[in-house]
Amino acid sequence: MAHTDPRFHVPAPHVRPGDTPDFSHIEIPPAGTARRPDVSIAGSETLDLALGLVRVLDHNHQAVGEWDPKLEPEIMREGLRHMVLTRVYDERMQKLQRQGKMSFYMKSMGEEAVAVAAAMALEKTDMVFPSYRQQGILFARGRDIVDMMCHCISNSRDNLKGRQLPVHYTWAEGDFFSISGNLTTQFPQAVGYAMACQFKGESRITASWIGDGSSAEGDFHGALVLASTYRAPVILNIVNNQWAISTFQGMAAGASETFALKGIGYGLASLRIDGNDFLAVYAATKWAAERARAGHGATVIESYTYRADAHSTSDDPSGYRPKGEADAWPLGDPVERLKNHLIGLGEWDEERHAALEKELDQLVIASYKEAETFGTLHDGPLSPVQTMFEDVYAEPDWRLRRQRRDLGV
């Protein structure tokens, strides 16, 4: 029955389960070769950066080129710590999910630098509009781990009163906007928020993150149109981790060479960067933040990375991509790369790293123990059931009052 030649073009990845992982079609320019223009450059002048790849750490783990942010070792060690914590936390939470402690979980493995380095390059009060794979921001901003876990297990201390799926954090005190389960909806909201920052005379900017797959949504276009038209101080990040659940990035990219290139069509400064390079993410975010704060408008940043694990606990990637792809990923692992850079500088060593991992794992385990004292989804206590009727409106109207009474709570 099947036509061997499809009658219209349907893009497909180079390899599928059973094949050997192969990224030979991906061109990786050497680190340090991209230029770093002044932040006042016109968006239209950044075409080379949208098509290139800003990289700082080279294959010897040395920081090279104009984009090297020349960070103090202390800062890099902090970044390393946040990334390791993100990974350890993700790992533990996934295990707990498998044990039935929570309904769902999503890891960010392989992409820790995208969130952590960006968060560190931003001011702590810059409002972030993340998607569900930037939990690293929370660690970088110092959110209490027990609080994070209480949200994930929807217990009585969940700051969201059990209303959201795990991982869909909100943390107003940390200027971390609510994560929507609906893809890309927050991209244009971030632009509106940024405009309001300007309106109020704040120096704050905003940043938002979506995935490669999500860039296909209409709201992507809306966000870029708004950002371009009103010259808003916002950083619009596209995290190209190669996959959108089972769908490879080519389904959203189509014939275009990079996702960053889209930004050029709106006259926005657009950068494609090595998302597994902590220093590149840091430097690019700093550049974009400076540009935004100086009134030169928005920057589109495509972070080129790889989703090293399943989409979520509901997903099994062995059904659609070869095993071992993560190891074959030509841009390596963000934790390893920053670690090796620090080691090369004489500012870190394997023992300290092992100790760090152990310390953080213990922290996570201890935090979970504490979190459980506030209840679990399965055994409670949860947020009191009548809270289900609260916060629909500032005050419940007669309908909600009746309904609460009907439920007898």
Partner 1 sequence: MSKMNMIQALNSAMDNMMERDANVLAFGEDAGYFGGVFRVTAGLQEKYGLDRCFDAPINEAAIVAMAIGMAANGLKPVAEIQFSDYIFPGFDQIVSELSRLRYRTAGTFTAPVVIRTPSGGGIRGGQTHSMSPEAFFTHIPGIQVVMPSNPYDAKGLLIAAIESPDPVIFFEPKRLYNGPFDGGAGKALEAWGKHPKGEVPEDHYTLPIGKADVVREGSAMTIVTYGTLVHVALAAAEQSGIDAEIIDLRTLIPYDIETIAASVNKTGRCIVAQEAPRTSGFGAELAAQIQEDCFFALEAPIKRVTGWDTPYPHAHEWSYFPGPKRFINAMREVLEA
Which one-letter amino acid corresponds to residue 405?
A: R
Which of ligand TPP, its own copies, partner 1, none is residue 392 near (CB under 5 to 8 Å by kind)? partner 1
**8 A C-beta contact, residue 80 and residue 349:** no
Options 65, 211, 275, 317; binder of Mg ion; rule CB under 5 A = 211
Q: How far is the CB of 358 from partner 1 (least distance, A)?
A: 33
Tell me the longest C-alpha to C-alpha distance in the chain: 67
User: Distance (Å, rounded) from C-alpha 33 to C-alpha 203?
Assistant: 32
Q: Which of residues 307-366 bind ligand TPP (CB under 6 A)?
A: 307, 311
Give Cα 111 distance to the centre of its chain. 7
Tell me which residue of 55, 149, 93, 160 sits closest to 388, measured CA to CA.
160
Q: Other C-beta atoms within 10 Å of 99: how many? A: 8
CA distance 195 to 188: 11
Task: Write down the least CB distance from residue 326 to ligand TPP, Å.
Answer: 13
204 in contact with its own copies (CB under 8 A) = no
Task: For residue 269, list its beta bridge partners.
Answer: 299
Residue 21: other Cβ atoms inside 10 A? 15
Stretch that binds Mg ion, among 55-63, 206-214, 310-318, 326-334 (CB under 5 A): 206-214
Interface with its own copies by CB under 8 A: which range of 105-113, 171-179, 192-200, 313-321? Answer: 192-200
How far is the C-alpha of 252 from the C-alpha of 258, rounded, in Å?
Answer: 10
Which residue from 265, 320, 347, 363 is in contact with its own copies, where contact means CB under 8 A?
265
Phi and psi at 376, nearest 5°, equal: -135, 165
x-marked contacts with its own copies along 272-311 as a string, rule CB under 8 A:
-------------------------x--------------
Among partner 1, its own copies, ligand TPP, none, the one that 307 touches (CB under a kind-dependent 5 to 8 A) is: ligand TPP
d(CA 253, CA 255): 6
Residue of the chain from 137, 179, 216, 331 that contacts its own copies (CB under 8 A): 216
| Binder among 206, 241, 299, 367 for ligand TPP (CB under 6 A) | 241
Closest separation in Å from C-beta 223 to partner 1: 7
State which residue, 31 or 113, has the beta carbon closest to ligand TPP: 113
Strands 243-244 and 247-248: antiparallel
Check binding of 13 to Mg ion (CB under 5 A). no
Cβ atoms of 146 and 372 within 8 Å: the answer is: no
Return the C-alpha torsion angle 91, 96, 102, 106, nearest 10.
20
Binding residue for ligand TPP (CB under 6 A) from 44, 60, 182, 387?
182
Binding mask 4-43 toward its own copies (x if CB under 8 A, else -) reads ---xxxxx-------------------------------x
> CA-CA distance, 225 to 208, in Å (whole number)?
15
Q: Tell me if 29 sits within 8 A of 333, measured CB to CB.
A: no
365 phi, psi to nearest 5 deg = -65, -45
- CA 310 to each of CA 83, 94, 138, 307: distance values in angstroms, whole numbers, following the listed order: 18, 11, 21, 7
With binding defined as CB under 8 A, does residue 225 bind its own copies? Answer: yes
Which of these segments, 23-31, 73-81, 158-166, 219-227, binds its own copies (CB under 8 A)?
219-227
> Cβ distance 67 to 284 under 8 Å?
yes
Q: Residue 198 CB, nearest distance to its own copies (Å)?
A: 4
DSSP-assigned letter for residue 272: E
Q: Closest approach of Cβ 141 to its own copies, in Å?
A: 26
Shortest Cβ 255–its own copies spacing (Å):
3
**From the CB of residue 111, how many other CB atoms can be counted at a distance below 10 Å?**
28
Is there binding between residue 187 and its own copies (CB under 8 A)?
no
- Residue placing its CB nearer to partner 1 in the complex, 184 or 240: 184
The yes or no reply on residue 212 touching Mg ion (CB under 5 A) is yes
Binding segment (CB under 8 A) for its own copies, from list 55-63, 109-117, 249-257, 347-355: 249-257
Whole-angstrom distance, CA of residue 221 vs CA of residue 206? 17
Q: Which does 203 bind (CB under 5 to 8 A by kind): its own copies, partner 1, ligand TPP, none?
A: none
**Residue numbers of the site for ligand TPP (CB under 6 A)?**
133, 181-183, 210-214, 239, 241, 243-245, 307, 311
Interacting residue ranges for its own copies, rule: CB under 8 A = 7-11, 43-44, 47, 195, 198-201, 216-222, 225, 227-232, 250-257, 261-268, 297
